[in-house]
């Protein structure tokens, strides 16, 4: 089935806006804090961890939003925590509501990324409500980035923006292994917030959602941790199946120019496209499989991450190599063989994924998986790869795609302007 884009809440369900304003505020923040307290607190005490550590955290690091060659949170070295949230414009909103929202979100994002509150935490009047919720007061930015995306639905007839639709922003087609839910797919707007401090991360998305509550309704959200793709200079992290993830990810400037950033694309020049997939893992079944079979499925060793034809993690896989039995050492249906650019006409995408957990599912098993996020200047590149992976990947026995979204990421704003401002130019 294709990814639903504008589904209404099911009858009898709790509106997501109310849910966000209520229970999720406490439970989700607690869940985020569990995963990385040691690393964050260790860095906080000394300002910066051992400089010899490739994954050293400096909580004072800040990234600017304005006047950059590219949007924040894409080439930025992946932080340890992420919250991805989508929103739908509320019924009855008009173009000026959207314009105001993007302007306010841009200004607030710049303040948050500079470790500043978005308004008064403690008002002067006893009867006033705080503009900022305050839980990040006194905390450093911890590499916070905010990345805002525009969904296909914004360019329907509601806001008069059909003529500004980015050329390649159309709903993703139905893909093999799709098991999508309307409750975890689509959206008019996306917000990706990443930070090395889970409380800073949560504070940012909480306040962005709060300041827009009269304009949007929250649609779906995933809280990520333990980044599952490496940035340049970072050690390769592991996904929840225990394997290194992101070994062959894009890192060279030439690859970013060729496969990520848009050129000669009108108002979208300098931007890109964001694909998001929520991939549920059957972890407990996976854990019962022998490690040798797991390695065959991935095409890599589990401990060191080396391709089965090599000795070290970054050895180039030799997909034509055969064993003594005359069969390929790396199975053609292994994950790395199907995803490799050598086997896909050179196509590459930037992966910026995170692990996630939603606790326990209705069957009493671990509910967890991968928040897959990729950036590419042509969504067809993702579709090409996923069609191969969805149809033949040995890993499909253990995963299913339950959520999906496609968003256009506008170029970085100039000082005094806001994200997506070009949409409203006449």
Report pLDDT digits (tens) over 343-376: 999 999 999 999 999 999 988 999 999 999 999 9
Distance between CA 338 and CA 165 in Å, rounded? 32
Phi, psi of 258 (to 5 degrees): -85, -40
- Give the C-alpha separation, 224 to 194, whole Å: 9
Read off the pLDDT of residues 93-109 as tens digits, 9 standing for 90 and up: 999 999 999 999 999 99
* Half-sphere exposure for 136 (CA within 13 Å, toward CB): 30
Task: Provide the pLDDT for residue 52.
Answer: 53
Beta strands 272-281 and 366-376: pairing type? antiparallel
- Give helix 24-46 / helix 198-211 axis angle, nearest 10°: 140
* Average pLDDT of every residue of the chain: 89
pTM summary value: 0.87
**Tokens for 92?**
């009855």
- DSSP 3-state of 116: coil
C-beta separation of 378 from 268 below 8 A: no
Number of Cβ within 10 Å of residue 335's Cβ equals: 21
Tell me which H or E stretch contains 291.
Answer: helix 291-298
Model confidence at 113: pLDDT above 70: yes
The two three-digit tokens of residue 221, written as one number: 């959200």
d(Cα 224, Cα 80) in Å, to the nearest integer?
8
Mean pLDDT within 297-307: 98
């Amino acid at each position: 089935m294709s990814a639903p884009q504008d589904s209404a809440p099911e009858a009898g369900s709790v509106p997501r806006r109310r849910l966000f304003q209520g229970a999720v505020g406490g439970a989700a923040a607690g869940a985020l804090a569990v995963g990385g307290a040691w690393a964050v607190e260790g860095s906080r005490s000394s300002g910066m961890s051992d400089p010899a550590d490739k994954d050293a955290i400096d909580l004072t690091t800040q990234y600017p939003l304005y006047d950059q060659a590219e949007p924040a949170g894409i080439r930025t070295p992946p932080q340890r925590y992420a919250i991805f949230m989508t929103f739908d414009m509320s019924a009855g909103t008009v173009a000026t509501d959207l314009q105001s929202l993007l302007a306010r979100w841009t200004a607030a994002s710049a303040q948050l990324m500079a470790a500043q509150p978005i308004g008064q935490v403690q008002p002067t009047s006893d009867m006033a409500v705080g503009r900022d919720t305050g839980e990040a007061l006194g905390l450093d930015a911890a590499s916070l980035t905010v990345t805002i995306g525009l969904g296909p639905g914004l360019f329907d007839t509601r806001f008069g923006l059909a003529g500004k639709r980015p050329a390649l922003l159309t709903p993703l087609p139905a893909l093999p292994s799709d098991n999508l839910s309307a409750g975890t797919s689509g959206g008019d707007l996306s917000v990706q917030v990443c930070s090395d401090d889970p409380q800073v991360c949560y504070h940012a998305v909480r306040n962005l959602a709060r300041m827009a509550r009269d304009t949007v309704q929250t649609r779906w959200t995933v809280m990520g941790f333990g980044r599952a793709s490496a940035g340049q200079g970072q050690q390769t992290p592991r996904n929840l199946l225990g394997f290194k993830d992101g070994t062959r990810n894009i890192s060279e400037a030439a690859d970013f120019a060729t496969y990520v950033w848009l050129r000669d694309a009108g108002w979208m020049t300098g931007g890109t496209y964001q694909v998001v997939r929520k991939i549920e893992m059957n972890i407990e079944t996976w854990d019962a499989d022998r490690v040798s079979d797991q390695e065959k499925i991935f095409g890599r060793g589990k401990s060191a991450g080396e391709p089965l034809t090599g000795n070290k993690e970054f050895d180039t896989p030799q997909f034509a190599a055969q064993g003594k039995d005359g069969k390929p050492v790396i199975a053609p249906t292994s994950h790395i063989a199907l995803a490799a650019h050598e086997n896909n006409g050179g196509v590459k995408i930037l992966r910026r994924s995170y692990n996630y957990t939603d606790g326990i599912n209705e069957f009493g098993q671990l509910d967890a998986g991968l928040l897959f996020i990729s950036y590419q200047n042509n969504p067809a590149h993702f579709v090409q790869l996923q069609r191969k992976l969805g149809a033949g990947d040995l890993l499909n026995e253990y995963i299913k795609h339950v959520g999906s979204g496609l968003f256009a990421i506008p170029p970085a704003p100039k000082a005094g302007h806001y994200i997506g401002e070009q949409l409203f130019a006449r």
